[in-house]
Amino acid sequence: MTDGSEDRRTPEGVRPAGGADVAAVRAVTDAAYRHYVARIGVVPMPMEADHAANVAAGRVFVTGEPVTGVVVVEPRGDHLFLDSVAVHPDAQGTGVGRRLLGFVDAHARALGLPEVRLYTNALMWENQEIYPRHGYEVLERRVDGPYDRVHYRKRLD
């Protein structure tokens, strides 16, 4: 890395993404979400995100060298919105996702935000098992355009 972001790692081993990470962010996100296209019948929104703009805005954090995990977050008034979590399939089951979710909690606390919110497609049933195990509760389920979403929140102590 030439942008110095490797010097800003958190205790969770997560660092802000820099411009040199954009290709890796795209690759990990695409690899993590690609298998959902056939299941849900549309391209998942994280695959269509403007990764360069998100990185430039400071909303993307990565872990691994090479990058194996990505989170995209956005502070919103009274909560931190977790827009995307992506773990490369080769790294799934190794604790990368757990480390990223731990970072998101710590980041929200550091920003003084009392909760984290997210949504997932209702057909991404794996996520509906994972998020409750990490303290998330269902707020609602609603259809937004072509997406049937389950909305979650996690209140932080």
Tokens at 80, concatenated: 């931190």
The answer, yes or no, to whether residue 157 has pLDDT greater than 90, is no
Among residues of the chain, what percentage have pLDDT more than 90? Answer: 85
Mean pLDDT (whole number) for 103-132: 95
Q: How far apart are CA 50 and CA 125, in angstroms?
A: 26
The pLDDT of residue 7: 53
In eight-state DSSP terms, residue 105 is H
Whole-model pTM: value is: 0.91
For residues 72 and 60, the answer to whether their CB atoms sit within 8 Å is: yes
Comparing CA positions, the residue from 148, 152, 154, 153 lying closest to residue 45 is: 148
The answer, yes or no, to whether residue 3 has pLDDT greater than 60, is no
For residues 80 and 117, the answer to whether their CB atoms sit within 8 Å is: yes
